Amino acid sequence: MQSIDSLRKLNAKLLIEIAKLKKKNAKIPKLKEKFLKFAEIKAENIRLKQIIEENTRHNTENAKLKSRIRELKARLALLEQSLVVKGMDVTKILEITSILILEQDEQNLSQFYETSSESIKFASCVLLKKYNKRIDNLVINRVKKKTATSIVYQEIKQLLPKITGLEKIKQVFYNADAILSLNYQQI
């Protein structure tokens, strides 16, 4: 009888311990899920950065090649003209060549800025989504939205000096015109 009572007490203790272990084990899948989401976001960030770098590299290569092609076309046109009109002054031909090349380079730059602005818009959208996801994740973990926004803002603010050079600007005692006249070295 006494052994049955002691076994029942032991059984009750073991049931309590099993319940505690089940509670701990229930948290593990949630943590795994959060870790997997974080890893996916990190991989997506890396992939997007590579795409942006590759696009920028391709755009600069394309601009250089287009400029080179236009230069060669201008030279070819000049050679053809020189065969037709041998009496034309060489300096005029060189002036025409430089004008044609400048016009083509201006077109290249405008195309390059258009494509780079598109990639900047794309990157901005991606970063905005990640910003909102980060805030939502903090809110899910029972942090108020205003506090979550402040936390994310502080995280971003810590990265800004590395990117923009904001640490150089300590205090400003000038009017707007004086500041505009400063160059990067003076700042």
Domain ranges of the chain: 2-142, 143-187
pLDDT score recorded for residue 67:
85
With tokens 């258009």, the residue in question is 114
With a CB cutoff of 8 Å and minimum separation 6, the contacts of 63 are: 108, 109, 111, 112
d(CA 112, CA 59): 6
Q: What is the pLDDT of residue 85?
A: 53
Helices 2-84/90-140 angle, 10° precision = 170
Q: What angle do CA 41, 160, 127 make, to 5 degrees?
A: 30
Over the chain (187 residues), what is each successive 10-residue block's mean pLDDT?
Answer: 85 92 82 85 90 90 87 78 56 58 62 64 73 82 84 76 54 55 60
Distance, CA of 32 to CA of 25 (rounded, Å) = 11
